[in-house]
Amino acid sequence: MLSDKNTVSAQDVAERAGVSRSAVSRVFTPGASVSAAMRARVMKAAQELGYHVNHLARGLVRNRSGIVCLIVSEMATPYRASLVRSLTQHLQEAGKIAMLINTDRSDNSVSAALQQAINFRADASIILSGMPDRTITRQCYQHGQRIILINRDEALPGSLNIDLDAASAAATAVQAFQRAGCRHLAFANSLAGTPSLLKREAAFVAEAQRAGLSVVVERFGTTSYESGQILAHRLLTRAQRPDAVFCVTDLMACGLMDEARQRFALRVPQDLCLIGYDNIAQAGWTSYNLTTFAQPVEQFARDAVQWLQHEEAQENTPRHDDQQHHRRVYQADVVWRDSVRGG
């Protein structure tokens, strides 16, 4: 037996198993044709020798590393954490390696991390929100990576955009407030200014106006619990206090609800109706019981990885749509709880 496992090669495995070098390669190639008996002999020899496939070297030969960058902002928020969890799970199941780049800082660390990913020849990048600067997306694209954009508005040739139908959620929210007898509506947003958050705001204001209702819009800070608390003060100290608030995220809704109850002694939903967005775990906690819209996180992750696999499988096939921009729009289904009267 070879003493240094680092020197074990596929040829060593072939000799131990009494098969050809190409047979070893087929055993370790997903989907390759090989008999059960052959597979068993090769795997037994590989285990005895401590052989492991060098996927990086194999990938470089095929001009594919298997690395997918996840470019993330506000990673500590519950929604983003759930999306990262789902994506990494589906990537791992597909045999991919997830490389995480946190874009919350504005110094050179983000550029350095991105350059490192490029140096490792990452195959693709998934941009998880509208926060990361557009130059990051362009840099990934210019280095030949496949690009998946979640809740962003760039339209790059050959990329995939995953987006939500803001209009249908807005219509559902306005109708719910109307059924509850609410007449003074508000929208609580952050100052992040991302395309998805602005779409939610614009769609809600437009839908309310069609229903003959006015909307007060307040924006502050990041999409955090603390921002929701501050927005509660701004909204609930107005001369005409709103009786219904649509919050751009659940996390902000939780902060706003706690502040409304503790500082203003308001009852939810008797005095104030609230709707959030994202369906984070906390929204279902007994203390909140928040009506919200559920982003289909699992479907995002599954479809994103399947799209990458499909594009890889087709890369050597002549196609006419390589420069097309692919877009998929999903519904955020309402989850009815107790923060809206009559919901």
Burial class (CB in 10 A: 0-12, 13-18, 19+), 90: buried
Task: Supply 295's token pair.
Answer: 């982003």
Q: Give φ, ψ of 132 to 5 degrees.
A: -55, 140
pTM of this structure? 0.79
CA 278 to chain centroid, in Å, comes to 11
Give the confidence band of 5 by pLDDT, cuts at 50, 70, 90: very low
pLDDT of res. 9: 79
Q: Structure tokens of 15?
A: 């000799």
The answer to whether the beta carbons of residues 289 and 338 sit under 8 Å apart is: yes
Q: What average pLDDT does range 46-65 have in this prediction?
A: 64
Output the pLDDT for position 111: 72
Confidence of residue 331 (pLDDT cuts 50, 70, 90): very high
Domains of the chain: residue spans and CATH: 5-53 (1.10.260.40), 67-164+297-332 (3.40.50.2300), 166-294 (3.40.50.2300)
CA 103 to chain centre: 14
As a whole number of angstroms, the distance between CA 163 and CA 300 comes to 9
* Rounded average pLDDT over 40-45: 88
Mean pLDDT of 53-71: 66
Average pLDDT over residues 246-272: 98
- At residue 65, does pLDDT exceed 80? no
**Range with the poorest average pLDDT among 76-80, 260-264, 280-284:** 76-80
Amino acid, single-letter form, for residue 60: L
DSSP string, 142-202: HTT-EEEEES-----TT-EEEEE-HHHHHHHHHHHHHHTT--SEEEEE-S---HHHHHHHH
- Both structure tokens of 18: 């009494």
The whole-number pLDDT of residue 321 equals 53
pLDDT at 189: 98
Q: Interior CA angle at 189 toward 233 and 102, to 5°?
A: 115
Q: What is the pLDDT of residues 95-106, one digit of tens each?
A: 898 988 888 766
